[in-house]
A = this chain, B = another copy of it.
Amino acid sequence: MFDYKLLSALAAVVEQGGFERAAQVLGLSQSAVSQRIKLLEARVGQPVLQRSTPPAATELGQRLLNHVQQVRWLERDLGQSVPALAGGSQPERLRIALNADSLATWWAPAVAAFCAEQQVLLELVVEDQEVGLKRMRAGEVAACVCAAERPVAGARSVALGAMRYLALASPAFVARHFPEGVQAERLAEVPAIVFGPDDQLQHRYLAALGMHGGFSYHLCPSSEGFVRLASAGLGWGLVPALQVEAQLTRGELVDLLPGQFLDVPLYWHHWRQGGELLASLTRHLGQAALQTLQPIS
C-alpha cells in the first residue's frame, strides 16, 4: 500500500496553504514535513508540489490528493458503521466542479443545510458547463455539474433541471442601439458579452434567430461581472433568469426578446464508489434542484 504519512503531508501543505501551517496541523516540525514531501517526490519520481506561495499541487500531486480524498471518504463511511474508529473527526472536503452560473444562483442555498449538518467543506472549481466533465475524467474532482448527460466510466449522472437564460441588456443600451424597438435581425450588429471561449450561448441564441455569422463582443469570465457589464450598458448577453430577478423587477435590465429564451440542462455527475457522503449529497441536491430549476424538456 501507499505510504499515507507522505500523502497526508502533501494534503496538509496544500490544504493549509504552506509548510508552516501544515506542520502545526500535523504536529510535526516544518523540516519533517519538507522531508516527507521530498521522500514522496523521490518515490513517484516527479515533483508533486510547485514551490509557489502558497504551494500548489502539480498535476500528479492533484491526482494523489484526489486519491487521498477518496480514501478519506471510505474511512468516514467505515467510521460511521464502526464508531470506535471515527476518532477526532476532521471536517471532510468535497472537491466539486460546477459552472459559474450555478454557483451564482441555486447552488449555495441547495447545499447549505447539507454542509452544516454533515460538517463538509467544499472546494469548488469553476468550469464552463460544457467542460466540467474533463475534470471528472482526469480524476480531479469528486463530482461535477455540467450540461452533458453521459457519465464518464465509473460515474453516474442525475438530471438536475434546466437553467433558463434570457437575452438581457440595460434600458440605456436598448435606447442607444434600438431607438425604434429591438429588431432581432440586428442583434448581431451590436456589442454582446461572452463569458469566455467555451461560452457558446450567445452564438446559439443568434443561430436560433437565423444568424450564423460573427459578432463583436466583450469577454468577461465572471457571472457577477457579466451582469454588471450588462447593467452598465456595455453589451447584451444571456443571463440566467434566476440571477437577475431583482434587476428585472427594478428595470435595470430588460428582456430583449420576451419569450425567446435558451434552456441549458444541468446534470450532476458523481463517482459510483464515492462513499456514503457523496451519495447523500446526491439525494439532497436532486430534491433542492427540483425547486429552483426548470424541468428538462
Chain A: residues with CB nearer than 8 A to chain B?
A: 16-17, 21, 24-25, 54, 56, 90-91, 100, 103-105, 107-109, 111-112, 115-116, 121-126, 176, 191, 197-198, 203, 213-214, 216-225, 228-229, 231-234, 243
Contact = CB atoms under 8 A, between A and B. Distances in A.
B116 A234 contact: yes
A124 B16 contact: no
Given A103-B225, A222-B124, A116 B233 contact: yes
Specify how many copies of this chain sit in the oligomer. Answer: 2
A219 B122 contact: yes
The 10 A-B pairs with the shortest beta carbon distances in the complex, nearest first, are: A103-B225, A224-B224, A112-B232, A108-B228, A108-B232, A104-B224, A123-B219, A21-B214, A122-B218, A108-B229
Given A100-B225, A176-B116, A220 B122 contact: yes
A254 to B, nearest CB: 16
A220 B115 CA distance: 14
A218 B124 contact: yes
Contact of A103 (B109, B224, B231): B224
A176 B115 CA distance: 13
